[in-house]
Amino acid sequence: MRWILFIIFYILIDIYAFQAVRTLARNSWIHGVYVLLSILILAALIYQISNMGAGKVMDINTMYVFGIFLTFFVPKLIIVVFMFGEDIGRFFTGIFMKVAGSDEAQFMASRRKFVSTIALGIAAIPFTSLLYGMIQGKYNYKVLKYVLEFEDLPGEFEGFTLTQISDIHSGSFDNRNKVEYAINLINEQKSDVILFTGDLVNNIADEMNDWKQLFSTLKAPHGVFSVLGNHDYGDYVKWESDSEKAGNLQNLKKLQKDMGWNLLLNENRYLKKNGQKIALIGVENWGENGFKQAGDLDKACQGILEDDFKILMSHDPSHWQSKVKKDPRHFHLTLSGHTHGMQFGIEIPGILKWSPIKYRYKNWAGIYEEFGRFINVNRGFGFLGYPGRVGIWPEITVIQLKKKQNTV
């Protein structure tokens, strides 16, 4: 029933958008190509989704079909808005001209052509953007650097740097050269420690088989640390048995160990430098809105002293907003990911930062500060669902810790 309603909606949108094409192009070949493309895209989407199975696991082929669907459908929605608005104006203008006794036919035709031209011109913007996002945007890696100051930072950690990556989603990769470039870019930052904040895979540990060796080359003097994200547990797969699911999670944990990563499962480690230390705390996924809540702050903080400088790794930023930022143990810096910045938005540094994801997550990209505590929400290394990025580029974060100087 849902498919029937969706197909009807799709056809109605398509017919309405077609009016703009027909107004500007009288060639029957163009009309035929339009109709054929619409049918093929709809058929491909239905076929791919129908063959995902009960587990609803989206592979890279399904992502591309979904991406192509969005690339064509979103511009059509924009066209429909213009054409519907024009039809309303056309209705009232027609009544007025009839009452006035004016010849409306020529005026209406020229008006329709003008509005159709504007509609198609504006619709071309999301079309080219979404297409670019799939071809180039998803591997348009950006290194974002921040300096954060703390009054109680241990002196030996003045200038200490950490590189954060998040949401690798290795099951989506389709270009080894681009991923290798990004790995080299991470190592080139020469940070003291590398921290990965969850979602290594889309669904199953085997997705990392082709990428394990490459990610094993990540190195830092104080090591590479990681936590689990919601996708790492295999919750979105229909497993044959609970033991099969548990085995997949064990494989994912072992894989990270084999890569030389230190996976923190509601536990902590001290990073030490010349007799001083800072606490690195890693919790399992804790999220709201139906996401897994396996994170246990109390367990993760066992052995940590109250006045220790603390860095917390927690995949979902809703954890910080709901639990962490007001915690009396004072977590100085929290590192999260999860949102991907929705892989779509507009960012003009210092002027504008917007994505639809902001209406679901208060902290969705970049640095935020409340109560003297900071969180960085990494925009993600990989991609999922739509196989691209528009305006919200894949991110490598470099944070330098500084001791705040008292000024009189």
| Longest Cα separation, the chain | 93
Residues 103 and 156 in one domain: no
pLDDT score of 107:
46
Question: Which residues are CB-neighbours of 99 under 8 A, at least 6 positions away?
Answer: none
Q: Return the axis-axis angle of helices 105-135 and 60-100, rounded to nearest 10°.
A: 160
Instruction: Indicate whether 345 belongs to any domain.
Output: yes
Where among 117, 135, 153 does a domain terminate? 135
Asked if 332 contacts 313 with a C-beta cutoff of 8 angstroms, the reply is no
* 94 in any annotated domain: yes
Residue 80 lies in a domain: yes
End residue of a domain, out of 135, 168, 197: 135
Read off the pLDDT of residues 41-57 as tens digits, 9 standing for 90 and up. Answer: 989 988 888 876 555 57
**Residue 408 domain-assigned?**
no
Same domain, 357 and 261: yes
> What DSSP element (H or E) covers 149?
strand 142-150
Instruction: Indicate if 319 and 384 belong to the same structural domain.
Output: yes
* Residue pLDDT tens, the chain, 408 long: 677 888 888 888 888 888 888 877 778 888 888 889 999 998 998 888 887 655 557 788 899 999 999 999 999 999 888 887 766 766 666 665 566 555 555 544 566 678 788 888 999 999 999 999 999 999 999 999 999 999 999 999 999 999 999 999 999 999 999 999 999 999 999 999 999 999 999 999 999 999 999 999 999 999 999 999 999 999 999 999 999 999 999 999 999 999 999 999 999 999 999 999 999 999 999 999 899 999 999 999 999 999 999 999 999 999 999 999 999 999 999 999 999 999 999 999 889 999 999 999 999 999 999 999 999 999 999 999 999 999 999 999 999 999 988 755
Q: How many domains does the chain have?
A: 2
Residue 57 carries which side chain, given as an amino acid letter? V
Q: Please indicate, yes or no, whether residues 32 and 150 belong to a single structural domain of this protein.
A: no
Specify whether 228 is located in the same domain as 288.
yes
User: Would 68 be classed as within a structural domain?
Assistant: yes
Task: Say if residue 74 is in the same domain as residue 167.
Answer: no
Please indicate, yes or no, whether residues 256 and 375 belong to a single structural domain of this protein: yes
Domain membership flag for residue 207: yes
Each residue of 87-146: pLDDT tens digit?
676 666 666 556 655 555 554 456 667 878 888 899 999 999 999 999 999 999 999 999
Distance CA 382, CA 211 (A): 13
User: In terms of domains, do 69 and 93 share one?
Assistant: yes
Judgement on whether residues 267 and 391 belong to the same structural domain of the protein: yes
Same structural domain for residues 180 and 98? no
* Residue type, position 143, single letter: V
In terms of domains, do 17 and 118 share one? Answer: yes
The answer to whether position 120 is within a domain reads yes
What's the pLDDT at 16?
A: 82
Residue 163: phi, psi to the nearest 5? -110, 125
Handedness of CA 393, 399, 404, 407 (dihedral sign): negative
How many angstroms separate the CA atoms of 305 and 317, rounded?
A: 24
SS3 63: helix
Interstrand relation of 267-273 and 161-165 (parallel, antiparallel or unpaired): unpaired
Helix or strand run (H / E) with residue 233: none
> Residue 231 is part of a domain; what is its CATH number?
3.60.21.10
Do the domain assignments include residue 157? yes
Query: Do 251 and 309 lie in a common domain?
Result: yes
| Distance between CA atoms of residues 338 and 138, nearest Å | 16
Which of these three, 83, 105, 135, is where a domain ends? Answer: 135
**Segments forming the whole domain that contains residue 384:** 140-403
| Residue 228 Cα to chain centre, angstroms | 16
Contact 294, 267 (CB under 8 A): no
Amino acid 364: pLDDT:
98
Give the pLDDT score at 14.
87
Which whole-number Å values give the CA distances from 158 to 7, 161, 376, 408, in the listed order? 60, 9, 19, 21
